[in-house]
Amino acid sequence: MNVPAAWYLILAAVLFGIGAFGVLTRRSALIILMCVELMLNAVNLTFVTFSRTLSDISGQAIVFFVMVVAAAEVTIGLGIVVAVFRRRSSTSVDELAELKG
């Protein structure tokens, strides 16, 4: 059974929309980081879909690099969130705006 590429692209668009909605509406830094990861995975799904459709491996190679950058982003972002939580006992991004210098 072969699933058409349009289904994958629709799924990627829905995932990206959910992630964008979460980034724009949530106030917790952890939830925002998870929504950014959801958006990156939606883009990865799109790259893999086009790579498979066009029978070209370059899309899958780009996905590998995006995953490496996403892992680094999560590591640094989570470290910052933990450091801020230890000082302020909150992960609200409204309170983080006070840290601007």
pLDDT tens-digit series, residues 24-44: 998 888 899 999 999 999 999
Q: What residues have CB less than 8 Å from 7, skipping those under 6 apart?
A: none
Statement: residue 101 has pLDDT above 70: no
The CATH class for the domain spanning 5-93 reads mainly alpha
pTM: 0.83
Task: Give CB contacts under 8 A, 24+ apart, made by 40-48.
Answer: 40/66, 40/70, 41/15, 42/12, 42/13, 42/15, 42/16, 43/12, 43/16, 45/8, 45/11, 45/12, 45/15, 46/8, 46/9, 46/12, 48/8
Give the domain ranges of the chain. 5-93
Statement: residue 99 has pLDDT above 70: no
pLDDT over 70 for what percent of the chain? 94
